[in-house]
Chains A and B, each alone.
Chain A
């Protein structure tokens, strides 16, 4: 039973354009959501998070949107840069330490 789903395994965008990565979840008890970025042969690195009491959080080029009624969150990267090319994981937490991760979306930003 996949509680966190990233239905798009890959996404390709042109440099300078917007990248939108999507994530759906099924557990309404999740109260904290995060995005991690992963390069090959490295561990995931934290990117941005959002609490369930908010619907938007912005940090530089990265913005996360949360739609609780739809159980959906998205990560927007504007403008996209070639260095953003990586695997992006959505994760959720139910006020416990453990994170439940999605399957990941591979983003390729073309110069």
Chain B
């Protein structure tokens, strides 16, 4: 079956613009995660959706970042008023049930803020 897909694969934007990044998880996976990897850094947790529970937003770096997951499937990460420090690879992952499950990652969206 298909893996996790993300779009776009690359996004270049100007400082101050809003961007939306999309994630399609593996069909049937109830848990969905967003991470980002800045240059030379490890992956940084952003937000976690588990079924119908309230998402764990503890990793979002500022209120310019938000995410939603519609119908328990597709997720959109929105960054408002982008800053240069937002430049990173944004990675989405999904897992079957959440706790203790293997997370399967998408290829990521490379965001460049000029």
A34-54 contact mask (Cβ, 8 Å, vs B): 1 or 0: 101000011111100100000
In which size bucket is the chain B interface? Answer: 20 to 34
- What are 30 A-B interface contacts by the 8 Å CB criterion? A4-B42, A6-B42, A32-B100, A36-B105, A43-B4, A43-B91, A43-B105, A43-B107, A43-B108, A44-B91, A46-B102, A46-B103, A89-B43, A93-B100, A96-B48, A97-B33, A97-B50, A97-B56, A98-B33, A98-B45, A98-B58, A99-B33, A99-B35, A99-B43, A100-B45, A101-B42, A101-B45, A102-B42, A103-B40, A103-B42
B residues 83-114 with Cβ under 8 Å of A?
91, 93, 95, 98-100, 102-108
Given contacts A46-B104, A49-B102, contact A98 B50 (CB under 8 A): no
How many residue pairs between the two chains, A and B, have CB atoms under 8 Å in the bound complex?
A: 62
Chain A residues within 8 Å of B68, by CB:
none
A-side contacts of B33, CB under 8 Å: 97-99
Q: Which residue among A49, A95, A98, A104 has the maximum number of chain B CB atoms within 10 Å of its CB?
A: A98
Q: Number of A interface residues at 8 Å Cβ cutoff, please give it.
A: 25
Closest B residue to A31 by beta carbon equals B100
Q: Which residues of A contact B (CB under 8 A)?
A: 4, 6, 32, 34, 36, 41-46, 49, 89, 91, 93, 95-104
Rounded to whole angstroms, the CA-CA distance of A101 and B50 in the bound complex is 20
